[in-house]
Amino acid sequence: MGRPQSAKESPDRAQVAALPIRIGETGAPEVLLMTSRETRRWVVPKGWPMKGRKPWEAAAQEALEEAGIVGRPRKKPAGTYTYFKRQEDHFDVCRVDVFILEYAKQLKNWREKGQREIKWLDLSTAADLVEEPGLVALLRRLAERPLAGLKRKSFKKRIASPGHSVELTVDAVATDLRHRRHRHAV
């Protein structure tokens, strides 16, 4: 069996999605979920490809318009999932390429502000809330191997106290999470 098709290669309708990720107050990775406008399901920012933009740029634009999130998108999809998009009188099969968006900030005002509920959640909790099986699988995979492939300089968070300065990186946090899971599993 070959590699899964990306949305661009699929005969289904192609979409792009952003998966905004940040390091939370506890030092653990968190992803942004938001509710869809009509059904109020928990989803990630997504939409149709945009003429003149690369897929990862279009995904970042969706995050900006739908959640006010500004960040740096990864150029390679973290994964792809399929879902049924509700239309007025039918459903379309959509194949979505998901691009990690390294969170930088959230704007005070954005295009769809007030139309959706937004939450930052750990990967496992996010996987419990979304309904699309492929997106659940992607979030669970990321929870098992948090943020694999991201550069160490991404997501640096400085924790300062008098006389101490610690810099947490994604890899350090991921290693810590694996050790914690192992201790609790034994």
Q: What are the chain's domains?
A: 7-144 (3.90.79.10)
Whether the predicted pLDDT of 135 surpasses 70: yes
Percent of the chain with pLDDT over 90: 56
Q: What is the mean pLDDT of residues 135-159?
A: 65
Q: What is the mean pLDDT of residues 177-185?
A: 46
| pTM as predicted | 0.73
Strand-pair category, 157-161 with 42-43 = unpaired
Angle at 49 between CA 6 and CA 115, to 5 degrees: 115
Strand-pair category, 91-106 with 13-23 = parallel
Tokens 């399901």 — which residue? 41
Helix (H, G, I), strand (E, B) or coil at 20: strand
Residue 157: predicted pLDDT? 43
What rounded mean pLDDT belongs to the chain? 79
Q: pLDDT tens digit string along 15-55?
A: 999 999 998 888 889 999 999 988 899 999 999 999 999 99
Q: The tokens of 166 are what?
A: 């610690």
Residue 123: predicted pLDDT? 94
Question: How many Å apart are CA 123 and CA 148, to the nearest integer?
Answer: 13
Angle at 50 between CA 35 and CA 123, to 5 degrees: 35
Question: How many Å apart are CA 49 and CA 46, to the nearest integer?
Answer: 9
Percent of the chain with pLDDT over 70: 72
